């Protein structure tokens, strides 16, 4: 009888603190993990010797990803798919003007006056980064740049993402191999 | 004695659930970005009048054209074959094999990146490439424009831009609007 009581007591272990802890951990990881990387698609960038290091990127810089087939992705969401939209680039324009509108409303993006050929125009102070795969047709990158230059969008600082190492061929910049 | 027992039990109220909930709320409020919620509210902002179109005087530029000699074939083997990656929902990468381009610097055709670097270096050193600089009143090296013809890849443009920077061209423009390749 005594032994049976002990066994029963062991079975009644209190699970509440463990479940509490698990929930806390879950919430913590869901909210914290992968916030910085979600804007970056898995691409292989072309290698270039002459580039500026992107060590302290502007906090609110929008990042557009262009896949090999020309698909434009912003914040893990597809906005333009050549298979679906073809030569209709309106979704790209819509995306850029939405980024601009929401950014200005949230004050994450700002407008500045810039002298353009003698006249003053309002342009975006923040740059925009275009990340394209090395085997993405340039035409798609050019199309985004064209839309960026429209006066109603005016992202005039367009940055193109490059890499110091070609992850496909393994070629590295001299600056990387010098230390080895 | 019994009454004292009762009183003691009341004093031992279990604080654990309350502390748990408080911690949950603390983490929630630390992690939530209030800006995200704010942006969902409607705002009626004054609209911008729009910028005037301006005319920029044309300057002499060096045109570097990239023509595609051979488009190349897409090789999916290295990245798991043609198809969609089930984990990411994105199409698998391919490697372009046999892609070949030809450059045209001014009228001169160039067939390799090394020759392009050499030619651009020669042009940059040529005194005839200096144009008047309106800002300083002196002279500066003319800018160059990279015109990628249909089918040219981002890698081609990036390497051309790299070669131009290497030669000393500080202002590089990108032409475009020539349409997609077949």
Residue in B39, B153, B179 closest to A134 by CB: B153
- Listed in sequence order, the residues at least 6 apart from B104 whose beta carbon sits closer than 8 Å to its beta carbon are B63, B64, B65, B67, B110
Residue B181: predicted pLDDT = 60
Interface test with A, best of B68, B94, B154, B165 (most A CBs within 10 A): B154
**Tens of pLDDT, residue by residue, chain B (182 residues):** 555 555 555 677 788 888 888 888 888 888 776 766 666 677 776 766 665 555 666 778 888 888 888 888 888 888 888 888 887 888 888 888 888 889 988 888 889 888 888 888 888 888 888 888 877 888 888 888 888 888 888 888 888 888 888 888 888 888 765 666 65
How many residues make up chain B in this entry? 182
Contact flag A135-B94 (C-beta cutoff 8 Å): yes
pLDDT of A179 above 60: no
Of the listed ranges A18-22, A62-66, B10-14, B66-70, the least confidently predicted one is B10-14
Does B96 reach chain A within 8 Å, measured CB to CB?
Answer: yes
Contact flag A139-B56 (C-beta cutoff 8 Å): no
- Looking at per-residue pLDDT, the higher value among A1 and A77 belongs to A77
pTM score, two decimals? 0.71
Residue in A70, A119, A154 closest to B52 by CB: A119
The dihedral region occupied by B155, where left means phi > 0, alpha psi between -120 and 50, and beta the remainder, is: alpha
- Residues of chain B with Cβ-Cβ distance to A140 below 8 Å are 180
Contact flag B91-A67 (C-beta cutoff 8 Å): yes
Q: What is the CA radius of gyration of chain B?
A: 32
Q: Where are the beta strands (DSSP E) in B61-134?
A: 61-70, 73-75, 95-97, 100-105, 108-110, 130-132
Q: Which residue in chain B has the smallest CA separation from A131?
A: B154
- Looking at per-residue pLDDT, the higher value among A25 and B47 belongs to A25
Any idea where the domains of chain A sit in the sequence?
Answer: 2-32, 63-160
pLDDT of A72 above 80: yes
Residue in A104, A137, A152 closest to B153 by CB: A137
Contact B146, B173 (CB under 8 A): yes
Contact B76, B96 (CB under 8 A): no
What distance in Å separates the CA atoms of residue A162 and residue B157, rounded to the nearest whole number? 11
Residue B69: predicted pLDDT = 87
Chain B, 61 to 90: residues with Cβ < 8 Å from chain A are 66, 74, 88, 90
Contact A71, A82 (CB under 8 A): yes
ipTM for this model:
0.74
Contact flag A137-B91 (C-beta cutoff 8 Å): no
Does B37 reach chain A within 8 Å, measured CB to CB?
Answer: no
Contact B151, B98 (CB under 8 A): no
Among B60, B100, B97, B103, which residue's Cα sits nearest to residue B78?
A: B97
The pLDDT tens digits for A98-152 are 998 888 888 888 888 887 767 788 888 888 899 999 899 888 998 888 888 888 8
Instruction: Let me know how many helices (H) and strands (E) chain A has, helices first.
Output: 6, 7
Other Cβ atoms less than 10 A from the Cβ of B172: the count is 19
**Secondary structure letter of residue B103 according to DSSP:** E
Contact A127, A154 (CB under 8 A): no
Residue A180: predicted pLDDT = 40
Residue in B56, B93, B158 closest to A46 by CB: B158
Residue A8: predicted pLDDT = 58
What distance in Å separates the CA atoms of residue A45 and residue A132, rounded to the nearest whole number? 7
Å between B143 CA and nearest CA of chain A: 16
């Amino acid at each position: 009888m005594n032994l049976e009581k002990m066994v029963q007591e062991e079975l009644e272990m209190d699970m509440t603190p463990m479940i509490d802890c698990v929930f806390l951990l879950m919430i913590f990881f869901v909210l914290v993990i992968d916030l910085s990387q979600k804007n970056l698609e898995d691409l292989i960038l072309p290698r270039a010797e002459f580039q500026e290091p992107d060590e302290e990127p502007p906090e609110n810089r929008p990042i557009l990803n262009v896949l090999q087939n020309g698909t434009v992705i912003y914040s893990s969401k597809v906005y333009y798919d050549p298979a679906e939209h073809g030569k209709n680039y309106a979704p790209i324009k819509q995306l850029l003007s939405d980024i601009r509108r929401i950014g200005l409303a949230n004050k994450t993006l700002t407008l500045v006056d810039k002298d353009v050929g003698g006249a003053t125009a309002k342009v975006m102070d923040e740059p925009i980064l275009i990340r394209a795969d090395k085997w993405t047709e340039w035409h798609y990158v050019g199309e985004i740049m064209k839309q960026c230059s429209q006066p109603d969008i005016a992202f005039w600082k367009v940055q193109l993402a490059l890499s110091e190492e070609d992850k496909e061929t393994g070629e590295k910049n001299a600056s990387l191999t010098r230390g080895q | 004695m019994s009454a004292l027992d009762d009183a003691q039990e009341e004093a031992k109220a279990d604080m654990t659930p309350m502390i748990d909930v408080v911690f949950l709320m603390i983490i929630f409020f630390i992690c939530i970005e209030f800006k995200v919620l704010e942006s969902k509210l409607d705002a009626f902002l004054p609209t911008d009048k729009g910028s005037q179109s301006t005319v920029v005087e044309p300057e002499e530029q060096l045109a570097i054209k990239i023509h595609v000699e051979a488009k190349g074939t897409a090789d999916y083997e290295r990245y798991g074959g043609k198809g969609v990656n089930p984990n990411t929902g994105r199409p698998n990468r391919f490697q372009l094999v046999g892609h070949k381009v030809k450059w045209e610097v001014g009228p001169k055709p160039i067939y390799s990146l090394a020759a392009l670097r050499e030619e651009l270096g020669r042009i940059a050193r040529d005194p005839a490439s200096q144009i008047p600089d309106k800002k300083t009143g002196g002279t500066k090296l003319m800018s160059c424009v990279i015109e990628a013809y249909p089918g040219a890849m981002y890698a081609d443009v990036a390497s051309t831009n790299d070669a131009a920077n290497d030669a000393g061209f500080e202002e590089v423009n990108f032409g475009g609007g020539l349409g997609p390749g077949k």
